[in-house]
Amino acid sequence: MPRMACELPDYSTVTPDELAQACRAAVEDCDARIAELVAIPSGQRTFENTVLALEEARAAVKEARAAWGFLAEVAPGEGLRAASQVWGERLDKHMIGIGLDEQVFQAVHEYKDNARAAALSEVDARLLEELLRGFQRSGIDLPTVQRDRLRTLLDELVELGSGFAATLAGWRDGIVVDRNELDGLSETFIEGLERVGEGYWVSLDNPEYWPFMCEARSAERRRELLEKNLRKGGVENVARLERALAVRQEIAGMLGYSCWAAYVLETRMAKTPEVAAVFLDDLRARIAPKVVADLAEMAEANVQAGGSREMPQWEQPYAISRLKQTRYAFDDAEAAQYLPLEACLEGLFATIGAVLGVRFEEVTDASVWHPEVRTFDVVEAAQVTQAAQARQATQATGGAGSAGGAPFGRFHLDLYPRPDKYKHAMALALRPGRRVADGSWQQPVAVMLANLTRPSADTPSLLRHAELVTLFHEFGHVLHEVLARAEHLRHSGAETEIDFVEAPSQMLEHWCWEPAVLGSFARHYRTGEPMPNRLLNGLAAAKTAASGVLTMQQLAFATLDAAYHSAGYSGDSTATYARVYAQHGDAYVEGTHLQSGITHLFGYDAAYYSYLWSKVLGDDMYTRFQQAGPLDPATGAHYRRTVLERGGSVGGVTMVRDFLGRDPSNEAFLRDIGL
């Protein structure tokens, strides 16, 4: 099969010096393009030589940031991670400088006043409007002294966010337990733990943390592990966050906003903090009766298992697991035996391929940053048959290549935890798909980072159902990057409103709960037997088990995020955390600081409500597939055309309306959580 001309670094051999050289060249390229742009006489300005020229200048820095900056989260070598962090900060600061450049702003404004600007297409007019609004929101109209102060504050925010993330990536903590303190956990899980003398090391990595919290019978050790998790990032990250909150508030005031939330939400679907607050308050009131019922069920299940009727934070995951087993006959550890990663990937690719009309072809000789990373090209389904046959023939004879239809996108999967790697799950564009200056199409490349259960010496990677959901969810972001067909960099891939960007991924989660879909690939890793109906049916029935409590946990963090970024924030992030969580039913655990370990407080700041907001949209969009059939290709083609391919070239509400043929509703979301 022909290879994509990715023009990305050779990640397998890259050095810190190469990274620095490439990023420095990107800055120089950007500056040279901007110098040409501002030198054009005002009467000669066109969309191409001003607006698109600015896009190309920004692309030089933004694409270097995408291609090189993510290495701070994944590179095995400390030197490369450090260089990536340093240059990631420099490139982010350079982008800030463009937004505060008076000459660039004047050039774009001159073009806007040109009569020809009125004849722009809808997409081009949107780009021009967004560019001008971005200058205004960057403080371009402020007096010079204030603008200099603003630049200093914005640069400091970059450094604070980078330091916060780096601390978490390198954080290593956990507990050492005796063999009898692993009572309740599967032998497969235990075999995968690191040995420490006569004991076993249980880390804060998700594949170890969550099974222990859900299955370990020792409440005391669960409490100890939870407290470690709630102190992740340390007091240094508390200090970074509190400084960032103060900086954000000062910036908002300088720009004329009452608080950071008012500034951030102005360009989101919600528009104002008040609208977001009404959304959260309404949901909180709706789920309150479900929370009461959930806690009663959880307590009863916990007591039957010999535990407490009280539901502090360290009891809740264990009680939920007991509830699923006793009431719904669903055992997550047993189900994992039927969810080996390879089968889950095959099921994911087959499902999405059938729905969206694409195929995923593994590339075994791609340049990657770690031996465990796998790479796949994306090909239109109609093009792939001959290519697949050719590749099978060459593989059978030991060959290394094949011929067939050209791929139009690529993605990498970096799925297992390791030291100094990003600790949660996310997807990023390494190279955005867009139209470049010569008129050709730049093929997108994305990466999915996750921390799924590792294989052991005797077993493959066996996924808990929650990990399968994570796999599907993050792949939704990958699809958003590689299937988008927006023309401009600013609209590429998942560059949509932050309270819409999660909707395609949350919609994709629904296929993990469809018994017919799950049953098509869930096979026992040893025997090959399909997952039994009792587990499939139990899983479907247990979907709303404790859904009120779990939704309330999301509401608690969304409310905390809003409180941090409100005009009334006190300045003490831990006291605010204790107060907000107590209001949502979770007593504060003395000496902890959850906020030090939440990366979303940088990037989703003032917008964490988006996860619930976009879930309403994603659940509603899935109703089209429920009506037509979960694998219906016509519905998939319509979804691809009206949502994924448009990137950020239109607003989220327009995409939802165009796909659904009506205004969005919260009815599907409420049904999905059992209301």
Q: Within 13 Å and on the Cβ side, how many CA atoms surround 536?
A: 16
Q: With beta carbons less than 8 A apart as the criterion, state whether 491 and 509 touch.
A: no
Residue ranges of E strands in 41-187: 174-177
Q: In the block, which residue shows the tokens 């504060």?
A: 588
CB-based contacts of 165: which residues, under 8 Å, 6+ apart? Answer: 72, 73, 422, 599, 602
Residues 169, 584, 250, CA angle at the centre, nearest 5°? 60
The two tokens of residue 342 are: 């390879």
Strand partners, 530: 523
CB atoms closer than 10 angstroms to residue 602: 18
CB-based contacts of 176: which residues, under 8 Å, 6+ apart? Answer: 196, 197, 199, 200, 201, 202
Catalytic residue among 474, 487, 495, 502: 474
Strand 174-177 versus strand 199-203 pairing type: antiparallel
Q: Got the DSSP string for 616-632?
A: HHHHHHHHHHHHH-TT-
Nearest to 226 by CA among 523, 641, 586, 634: 586
Report H helices in 459-546: 465-483, 503-508, 515-521, 533-541
User: Rg of the Cα trace of the chain?
Assistant: 25
Nearest to 66 by CA among 447, 399, 579: 447
The Cα 518–Cα 531 span in angstroms is 9
Nearest to 248 by CA among 26, 564, 546: 564
Strand partners, 93: none
Residue ranges of E strands in 238-309: none
Strand 194-196 versus strand 358-363 pairing type: unpaired
Task: Give the number of residues written for the chain.
Answer: 675
Quick check: is 310 catalytic? no
Strand, coil or helix: 587:
coil
Q: With beta carbons less than 8 A apart as the criterion, state whether 675 and 552 touch.
A: no
CB-based contacts of 343: which residues, under 8 Å, 6+ apart? Answer: 521, 522, 523, 525
The terminus-to-terminus CA distance of the chain in angstroms comes to 50
- Buried b / exposed e along 546-584 (16+ C-beta atoms within 10 A): bbbbbbbbbbbbbbbbbbbbbeebeeebbebbbebbeeb
Catalytic site positions: 474
